Copies of this chain bind each other. A is one copy, B any other.
Amino acid sequence: MTSTPMQTGYTIGECARRSGFSMDTLRYYERVGLIDDVDRTATGQRRFSDAHLEWLGTLKCLRDTGMPVEQMCRFARLVRDGDATVPERIELLQVHREAVNERIADLDAKRDYISGKIAYYQGLQ
């Protein structure tokens, strides 16, 4: 049904479908250092691993919650630099989570404002 890995690992197209990023975005992320150690076939095509897919899941989460690419790069660097950076990673994620909390609270308040507007308009009918 779905294509089988031809050597081993996922082609960029398969990886795009599974990760939710476009192929272009995956190449871009590799270029800026968000993705590492991508295998290549003898002829130069990328082959992504399950570990990559998991990492991409994390990236997707961070990106979709509004973390700038540059900060994700910092996180990626920490991960690359090994266990000693765990406290820094915790710190970074906690700060980000707080930003997400604030964003949610803001959206929540503003949704109420919108609901108020809707109710007002409905009162006019």
- Contact check, B64 vs A122: say whether CB atoms are below 8 A apart: no
* Interface 0/1 of A89-123, CB less than 8 Å to B: 11001101100110110111011011101100110
A69 at the binding interface (Cβ < 8 Å): no
Minimum CB–CB distance from A87 to chain B (whole Å) comes to 7
CB of A39, distance to nearest CB on chain B (Å):
26
Are B83 and A113 in contact (CB-based, < 8 A)? no
The answer to whether the Cβ of A61 comes within 8 Å of any Cβ in the partner chain is yes
A61 to B107, CA, bound (A): 9
Are the CB atoms of B110 and A100 closer together than 8 Å? yes
Tell me if B90 and A122 are in contact (CB < 8 A).
Answer: yes
Asked if A25 lies at the interface with its beta carbon under 8 angstroms from chain B, I say no
A125 contacts partner chain B, Cβ-Cβ < 8 Å: yes
